[in-house]
């Protein structure tokens, strides 16, 4: 059985981590593009983060998604078997325990002991609703499995990723998106190590913890595989 790889999860908007990265990106953009007319580094940093996340979440292949859907179908079947094996009184106990958990969370928030910025915390009322959804999920498991199988059968190719530098491609793509919006500098077919785009990308990469002596090859890979091709990629229709 092939192991599925975790899908990229965007950083939560307005979280401390997001804001730290966005402001660092804004500083880099300001240093390199401030001379552009009507350029606002803060606004364009949001454009950058959005473009980066959009490409990262689309870096998947039909094969990768197919393995994940197969795992999901098996998990649904196992959940149905397990849930149907639980006595009714025990099922109710699970729901009551979830309800009690939510009550405690509400109480702690009322006492200001829980920060609302805790991204790992399930919202009050959330766990009880999840527990009560187990019954309907088990009841409709067969139908849901058929739907998952249908989706599996109709999967498009996606974007071939293999062992490619996806994060670096996405950073280049997001940077060039901002550059082209203001016609700020030339976007060459091959990277000029002394050119302004190289210097901008070097600083952007550093923000995201990527140190390279040269990224000519990764840039050329982005040009060949992503630039002008991303919009035509074989992805799920929206």
DSSP state, 15? S
pTM above 0.75, yes or no: no
Q: Tokens 């009714």 correspond to what residue?
A: 88
The ranges assigned to domains in the chain are 16-61+160-232, 64-153
DSSP state, 8? P
Q: Residue 32 has what pLDDT?
A: 96
Token pair for 60: 């998947």
From CA 64, how far away is CA 60, in angstroms rounded?
7
Q: 126 — phi, psi (to 5°)? A: -70, -45
Task: Report pLDDT digits (tens) over 33-66.
Answer: 989 989 999 999 999 999 999 999 888 888 888 9
Task: Report pLDDT digits (tens) over 13-28.
Answer: 889 999 999 999 999 9
User: Contact 196/32 with Cβ under 8 angstroms?
Assistant: yes
From CA 42, how far away is CA 22, in angstroms rounded?
8
- Summarize the chain as % helix, strand, coil (round to 5): 65, 0, 35
Which of 99-103, 165-169, 183-187, 230-234 is predicted with the least confidence, judged by mean pLDDT?
230-234
Q: Is the dihedral of CA 154, 157, 162, 164 positive or negative?
A: negative
From CA 141, how far away is CA 176, in angstroms rounded?
45
């Amino acid at each position: 059985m092939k192991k599925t790889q975790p899908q990229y999860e965007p950083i939560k908007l307005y979280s401390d981590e997001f804001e730290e990265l966005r402001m660092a990106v804004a500083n880099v953009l300001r240093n390199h593009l401030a001379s552009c007319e009507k350029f606002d580094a803060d606004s364009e940093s949001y454009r950058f983060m959005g473009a980066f996340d959009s490409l990262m979440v689309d870096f998947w292949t039909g094969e990768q998604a197919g393995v994940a859907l197969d795992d999901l179908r098996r998990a649904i079947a196992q959940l149905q078997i397990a849930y149907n094996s639980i006595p009714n009184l025990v099922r109710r106990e699970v729901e009551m325990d979830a309800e009690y958990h939510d009550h405690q969370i509400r109480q702690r928030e009322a006492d200001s002991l829980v920060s609302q910025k805790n991204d790992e915390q399930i919202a009050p009322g959330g766990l009880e609703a999840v527990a009560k959804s187990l019954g309907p999920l088990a009841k409709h498991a067969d139908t849901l499995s058929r739907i998952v199988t249908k989706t599996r059968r109709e999967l498009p190719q996606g974007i071939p990723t293999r062992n490619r530098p996806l994060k670096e491609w996405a950073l280049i793509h997001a940077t060039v998106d901002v550059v082209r919006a203001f016609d700020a500098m030339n976007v060459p077919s091959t990277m000029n190590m002394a050119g302004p785009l190289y210097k901008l990308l070097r600083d952007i990469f550093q923000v995201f913890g990527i140190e390279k002596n040269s990224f000519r090859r990764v840039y050329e890979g982005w040009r060949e595989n992503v630039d002008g091709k991303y919009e035509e990629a074989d992805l799920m229709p929206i």
